[in-house]
Amino acid sequence: MPIFKRNRIRHGELDGAAEALRSPRRLRLLLVDENPTARAVVARRLSHLNYDVVLAENGFIALNLLVTRPVDIILVDMGLTMLPAVGMMQKIRAANLAGNACFVMIAGRLDSQSTVEALAAGADDHVVKPFDFDVLDARLRHLCQRAEQVGALTRHNAELDARIARRAVELGETREALREMQLDRARLVGSIQALHDEVERLHAAQG
The 10 Å Cβ neighbour count of residue 72 is 22
Tens digits of per-residue pLDDT, 36-78?
Answer: 999 999 999 999 999 999 999 999 999 999 999 999 999 999 9
Mean model confidence pLDDT for the chain: 82
29, pLDDT greater than 90: yes
Report how far residue 186's alpha carbon sits from residue 46's, in angstroms, rounded to the nearest whole number: 76
The helix/strand/coil state of 152 is helix
Tell me the angle at which helices 59-68 and 85-94 cross, rounded to the nearest 10 degrees.
30
96, pLDDT greater than 50: yes
CA distances from 59 to 25, 64, 65, 91, 149 (A): 27, 9, 10, 9, 28
- HSE-CB at 122 with a 13 A cutoff on CA atoms is 15
At residue 171, the pLDDT reads: 78
Model pTM above 0.85: no
| Cα-based torsion angle of the residue sequence 90, 95, 100, 101 in order, rounded to the nearest 10 degrees | -60
Tens digits of per-residue pLDDT, 111-154?
Answer: 778 888 888 989 999 898 888 899 999 999 988 887 666 655 55
The rounded Cα 113 to chain-centroid distance in angstroms is: 30
Query: Which one, of 68, 139, 134, 128, lies nearest residue 102 by Cα?
Result: 139
Report how far residue 108's alpha carbon sits from residue 114's, in angstroms, rounded to the nearest whole number: 9
Tens digits of per-residue pLDDT, 173-203?
Answer: 888 888 888 888 888 888 888 888 777 777 8
At residue 158, the pLDDT reads: 66
Report how far residue 74's alpha carbon sits from residue 98's, in angstroms, rounded to the nearest whole number: 8
Cis peptide before 130 (omega within 30 of 0): yes
First to last CA, the chain: 101
